[in-house]
Amino acid sequence: MTFARPDHIHDPDTLPTMPAWVTSARAETTEDVVFLSGAALSHLHLVLGREEVPQALLRERLALRAAEVCVAFSGRPERAGELRDALHLLRPGDLPGPAGDTCLAWRRAVERPVSLKALCPAEPTLEQAAIAAWLDAGQGAPVARAAMVLETVLTEAPRADVPAFILADTALAQALGWEHLLPLLATGLRRADLRKQGDDLRLACHRALISSATEAVRQAADLARRAAHLMAVAPKLRAKGAGDAVKMFLTRDAVAPSALPLPDRAARRLCDRLVDLGAIRELTGRDIFRLYGV
- The phi and psi torsions of 49 (rounded to 5 degrees) equal -80, -5
Q: What global pTM score does this model have?
A: 0.93
How would you classify the pairing of strands 281-282 and 292-293?
Answer: antiparallel
**Can you give the three-state secondary structure of the chain, one letter per residue?**
CCCCCCCCCCCHHHCCCCCHHHHCCCCCCHHHHHHHHHHHHHHHHHHHCCCCCCHHHHHHHHHHHHHHHHHHHCCCCCCHHHHHHHHHCCCCCCCCHHHHHHHHHHHHHHHCCCCHHHHHHHCCCCCHHHHHHHHHCCCCCHHHHHHHHHHHHHHHCCCCHHHHHHHHHHHHHHHHCCCCCCCCHHHHCCHHHHHCCHHHHHHHHHHHHHHHHHHHHHHHHHHHHHHHHHHHHHHHCCCCCHHHHHHHHHHCCCECHHHCCCCHHHHHHHHHHHHHCCCCEECCCCCCCCCEEC
Tell me the sheet residues that pair with 255.
292
Domain boundaries along the sequence of the chain: 29-222, 237-293
| Average pLDDT, 10 consecutive residues per value, the chain (294 residues) | 45 86 88 96 97 97 98 95 93 89 96 93 90 93 98 96 97 97 96 96 98 98 97 93 96 97 96 97 96 98
List the one residue out of 141, 204, 133 whose CA is nearest residue 174: 141
Q: In whole angstroms, give the CA distance from residue 209 to residue 154.
A: 19
> Rounded distance, CA 126 to CA 108, Å?
14
Q: In a 10 Å sphere around its CB, with 0-12 CB exposed, 13-18 middle and 19+ buried, how is residue 275 labelled?
A: middle
Model pLDDT, residue 94: 87
Give the pLDDT confidence score for residue 29 in this predicted structure.
Answer: 94
Q: What angle do CA 67, 70, 75 make, to 5 degrees?
A: 125
Looking at residue 3, its pLDDT comes to 47
CATH number for 237-293: choose from 1.20.1510, 1.10.287, 3.30.450, 1.10.10. Answer: 1.10.10
Cβ atoms of 205 and 143 closer than 8 Å: yes
Amino acid at 193: D
